[in-house]
């Protein structure tokens, strides 16, 4: 194919992707692409560190686990973005007022995507994949913090607690209490019910607090964990 033909083809493609009537469909494609890239960027360094520090096995076995965790994170975020955006499109054009986004479209689209992508179990083990657990727990923690802030936001939040003076007092005290309670609970759970904690958190806690109770000399006290 000649250079002129390639330029013509490129120009035609540019016109299509910039055409407003195709914007919604290409937004789905871009959402899937960005979900996959973001998932890979976030998961790869995390999986690399966790596998190298806390997993036993050969380098090939660790590499396979790193690839599996990275690909699952990337694929799941891409799938969720696709389902979410398609659901939003459907709700916008076929539910309530056609062509107008409803106030709860994002909620129901997220509900569907969360159920389909993150709500299932592994067919082989019938367990919730650890990658999905971590993603959902990450999201849940941020949701709780956002709802707590919203609850005391003046003019928007709950009665009484969202009044300016009360809101200011709660905001000043909330984070220290939340931080201390979180660490009190995780240390108690690690001490008495460690198997109930998520796997990567339990490994980190064991490395810092469990392994620090054992050494066989200066070498395993300062230079090597074991």
- The per-residue pLDDT string of the chain (226 residues; one tens digit each, 9 = 90 and over) reads 788 888 889 898 999 999 999 999 999 999 999 999 999 999 999 999 989 888 888 999 999 999 999 999 999 999 999 999 999 999 999 987 888 899 999 999 999 999 999 999 988 888 899 999 999 999 999 999 999 999 999 988 999 889 999 999 999 999 999 999 999 999 999 999 999 998 888 988 998 999 898 888 888 888 888 7
Q: Check if the beta carbon of residue 47 is closer than 8 Å to that of residue 101.
A: no
3 state SS of 224: coil
Among residues 145, 152, 147, which one has the least CA distance to residue 170?
152
Residues in the chain: 226
Q: Is the pTM of this model over 0.95?
A: no
Count CB-CB contacts under 10 A for residue 139: 13
Kindly list the distances between the CA atom of residue 83 and the CA atoms of 31, 70, 206, 223, in Å, as whole numbers in the listed order. 10, 20, 38, 49
- Rounded CA-CA distance 46/134 in Å is 11
Q: Check if the beta carbon of residue 129 is closer than 8 Å to that of residue 122.
A: yes
Q: Check if the beta carbon of residue 30 is closer than 8 Å to that of residue 78.
A: no
């Amino acid at each position: 194919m000649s250079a002129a033909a390639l330029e013509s083809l490129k120009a035609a493609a540019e016109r299509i992707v910039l055409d407003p009537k195709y914007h919604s469909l290409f937004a789905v494609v871009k959402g899937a692409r960005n979900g996959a890239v973001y998932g890979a960027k976030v998961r790869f360094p995390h999986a690399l560190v966790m596998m190298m520090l806390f997993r036993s096995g050969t380098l090939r076995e660790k590499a396979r686990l790193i690839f599996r965790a990275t690909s699952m994170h990337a694929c799941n975020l891409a799938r969720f973005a696709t389902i979410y955006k398609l659901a939003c499109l459907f709700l916008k054009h076929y539910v309530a007022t056609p062509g107008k986004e409803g106030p709860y479209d994002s909620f129901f689209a997220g509900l569907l995507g969360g159920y389909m992508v993150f709500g299932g179990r592994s067919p082989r083990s019938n367990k919730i994949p650890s990658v999905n657990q971590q993603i959902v727990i990450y999201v849940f923690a941020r949701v709780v913090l956002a709802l707590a802030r919203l609850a005391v936001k003046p003019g928007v939040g709950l009665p009484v607690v969202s009044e300016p003076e009360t809101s200011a007092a709660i905001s000043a005290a909330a984070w220290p209490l939340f931080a201390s309670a979180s660490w009190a609970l995780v240390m108690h759970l690690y001490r008495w019910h460690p198997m109930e904690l998520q796997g990567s958190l339990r490994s980190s806690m064991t490395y810092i607090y469990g392994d620090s109770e054992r050494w066989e000399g200066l070498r395993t006290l300062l230079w090597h964990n074991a």
